[in-house]
Amino acid sequence: GFGQTFLACDRYLPGNPLCVIKQFSPQGFTPTALKTAQRLFELEAQTLYQLGTHPQIPALLAHFEQAGEFYLVQDYIPGDNLAVELAEAVSTDKGQADQYASSLLRDLLTTLAFVHQQGVIHRDIKPANIIRRSTDQKLVLIDFGAVKRLSAGTALSTISIGSPGYIAPE
């Protein structure tokens, strides 16, 4: 909620691959809020670095701070987010809703099982944070900015965070 996302071209790598740059601009934050923002930024970077080895999670390419702003650079995933796909599926109901939902869940749950095995809870799973990758039609889970880490099976103390309508009631 305090940044922007950009599509960029890495001109230093062969083929000039596309990447996503997330810019966090916490100007005007209180010192306490700034520390929280820095902690969440570092946690997202660490989490992407740890989980980015999975083929359905974007890899972290870089993260850094410059002039009081924080940047994450990660793989670009070509495709549409699930919000777009679900809107299209509802408007073109072909009578195969059960099969569609089952396929969608199987694909997504294998990624979530990996995330949970790594001691991470995403905390912001919603259609806009799931992309149907155009190259292989796999679902890719994005936006690890609200994660919670587990320590020996117990959640570490964190702030409450998530998207209205998708945040867990607890």
* Catalytic positions, written as ranges: 124
Q: Is 14 helix (H, G, I), strand (E, B) or coil?
A: coil
Q: What is the DSSP string of 96-145?
A: -HHHHHHHHHHHHHHHHHHHHHTTEE-----GGGEEEETTT--EEE---T
- Position 2: which residue type? F
**Position of tokens 């409450």?**
160
